[in-house]
A = this chain, B = another copy of it.
């Protein structure tokens, strides 16, 4: 008998990946699992913060809790000795990325990361045209500073950002783009 997939993995999601219906979050998580299993990088999604109001401690169960706005970004970790920090967002727009999708304090956090010597960026997926881009903080920050623009045009993101090609393993090899800058 054959056991073609017998190798142990920390997180098996990336093996089972196949359909195009996957979300950006699951694509990134599966890519991070791939990076982890192959000793390339240690990057995790942070849990969503929840304010637990009522807890039944005997059952370890929350009976009343509320989602809170995260203080920072969704993802961080280490790659080639560098601190990596990013946010990931999908948009259904075909022409631009609405900047209201990202909280101001998250932008502030991404800027702080650069100031302290880390690498920060956002990953934006245009779901209707099925394109995913990585754009570094320094290249989009002007849109958040002047408070005039309401969105970043796709054409600008195509020019200043980097298209992340779909792959199999990893699904979304965003570190390949980071490689160019470290």
A interface with B by C-beta (< 8 Å): 36, 39, 41-42, 44, 46-50, 52, 60-67, 70-72, 76-83, 85, 109, 112-113, 115-118
A46–B50 Cα distance when bound, in Å, is 11
B117 A80 Cβ-Cβ under 8 A: yes
List the B side residues contacting A112 at CB < 8 Å.
36, 42
A78–B115 Cα distance when bound, in Å, is 10
A105–B39 Cα distance when bound, in Å, is 15
Given A44-B72, A50-B50, A109-B42, are A118 and B81 neighbors across the interface (CB < 8 Å)? yes
24 A–B contacts, CB within 8 A, in A order: A42-B116, A44-B71, A46-B46, A46-B47, A47-B70, A50-B62, A50-B65, A52-B65, A60-B66, A60-B67, A61-B65, A62-B64, A62-B66, A76-B77, A77-B83, A78-B83, A78-B85, A78-B116, A78-B117, A78-B118, A80-B117, A81-B116, A81-B118, A82-B83
List the B side residues contacting A67 at CB < 8 Å.
60, 62
A36–B42 Cα distance when bound, in Å, is 23
